Structure 1
């Protein structure tokens, strides 16, 4: 099965201009073309595109992805290097995810606090609510914040 650039764009929700840019940068280097010059993306191109998009969404720069793509083109002799790169990116994503989870907790606390402030007409009243008046998850974040501020 093959896809045109428009079909691929719709299938993976990636702008055609991005697909052209990836090809220009060598991230999708083996894209075939019909006699008319129209790009024809095959299954392996799709696999590569999904990996490139994953790496990009994971924080790798185009330059880094380009280097990774070059390693892929070199074949099996670069498997250890590619594995090491993917392990590093995986750890970075895990660390970022941990931070984002903390941010989400904090944002939920702040949103709850502002909701209560709107309800009571005062931020001060909301801030001074007893812990017992807070949902368990909100209470936990409040206690963690209080501990941080005590040090």
Structure 2
């Protein structure tokens, strides 16, 4: 049986890594942290923010509403309060469909 190397998954991400994922400035992430109750990163002894996967998912929801759909901050807050679970389900579905699309495009490229 061949050895299969386990992929190491990080537990915490720095604010710089989170900002790089969304191609935004770290100051925007800090601002959203102050505006939205959903984002609550832990802080280490130095005061550096440590984001979990859940925090990153919440940043992703806020990014989608504010940057992609054009909501105001108040509109995004209202949307998150009214249908947070429904919105997460929709975002998961969009992610799944995006991955399927990427797979199909790659498949078509390989066939040609």
TM-score calculated relative to the size of structure 2: 0.58
Kindly provide the CA deviation profile for residues 48-78 of structure 1, in whole angstroms up to 9, marking residues without a partner as x.
1111111112021111222344x2xxxxxxx
Structure 2 residue aligned with 1:66:
77
- Greater relative contact order structure (CA < 8 Å, 6+ sep): 2
Q: 1:68, 1:32 → 2: CA distance?
A: 25
- For the pair 1:29 / 2:30, whether they are aligned, the reply is no
CA 40–48 in structure 1, closer or farther in 2 if over 3 Å, else same: same
Following TM superposition, the consecutive aligned residue runs of length 4 or more in structure 1 with deviations greater than 6 angstroms are none
Residue aligning to 1:14: 24
The residue number in structure 2 matching 1:41 is 51
1:31 Cα deviation after fit: 1.4
Larger Rg: 1
Q: Aligned partners of 2:25, 2:38: CA distance in 1, in Å?
A: 15
Q: Which has the higher helix share?
A: 1
RMSD, aligned CA = 2.1
C-alpha contact (below 8 Å) 1:4/1:41 kept by paired residues: yes
User: Equivalent residue for 2:83?
Assistant: 82
Cα distance in 2 for partners of 1:30, 1:51 equals 14
**Residues 50-61 of structure 1 correspond to what in structure 2 (within 5 A)?**
50-56=60-66, 57-61=68-72
Query: Can you give the 5+ residue segments of structure 2 that lack an aligned partner in the other structure?
Result: 1-10, 88-112
